[in-house]
Amino acid sequence: MIIREAIETDFQEIWPIFHEIVLAGETYAYPQDTSKEEAKNLWMDLPKKTYIVEEDEEILATYYIKTNQAGPGSYVCNCGYMVSSKARGKGLASKMCLHSQEVAVELGYLAMQFNFVAVSNAGAVRLWHKLGFDTVGRLPKAFNHPKQAYVDALVMYKWLKT
């Protein structure tokens, strides 16, 4: 299993992962009807870098890294992670998060922030805490989960420089 920077043609395999997760509407605040073209822009074009996790030449997961805010906040990055449903439970989110922190430091970022983690995504909340992220904010009923209705969203943060 390898993590490598995505290339343009990888999006054909990233799209089904993105589409499945966004269509479910349970973890990302993207519109459920996000088009393939919009998804490519969000996941491949706007971020500073995009990576994939690959095994036997099959893409199982992906993440992006980008600057969270411009100007005086530009030393803080933001990442988004997606794992194919057929690859869940293999520790890929953990591997991607650890990898993204290394990449962030290489790119000169000092901190990483997750802006909008739905509390209903309990596995992610547990993992981010385990990997050293603090919950620094709570947005009451900010995420409209398709099954649980309005749930809180968390802002999570980690200082990367020791």
Q: Nearest CA to 39 among 57, 58, 13, 59? A: 13
Q: Say which amino acid occupies 91.
A: G
Rounded to two decimals, what is the model's pTM?
Answer: 0.95
The count of structural domains within the chain is 1
* Position 161 in a domain: no
* Position 92 in a domain: yes
| Ranges of residues in the chain whose predicted pLDDT is under 70 | none
Q: What pLDDT, on the 0 to 100 scale, is given for residue 74?
A: 97
* Position 162 in a domain: no
Q: How would you classify the pairing of strands 134-145 and 58-67?
A: unpaired
Longest dimension (CA), the chain: 42
Q: What pLDDT, on the 0 to 100 scale, is given for residue 52?
A: 98
Q: What pLDDT, on the 0 to 100 scale, is given for residue 158?
A: 98
Domain range for 17: 2-113
Q: Is 63 exposed, middle or buried (0-12, 13-18, 19+ CB in 10 A)?
A: buried
* Position 69 in a domain: yes
* Position 44 in a domain: yes
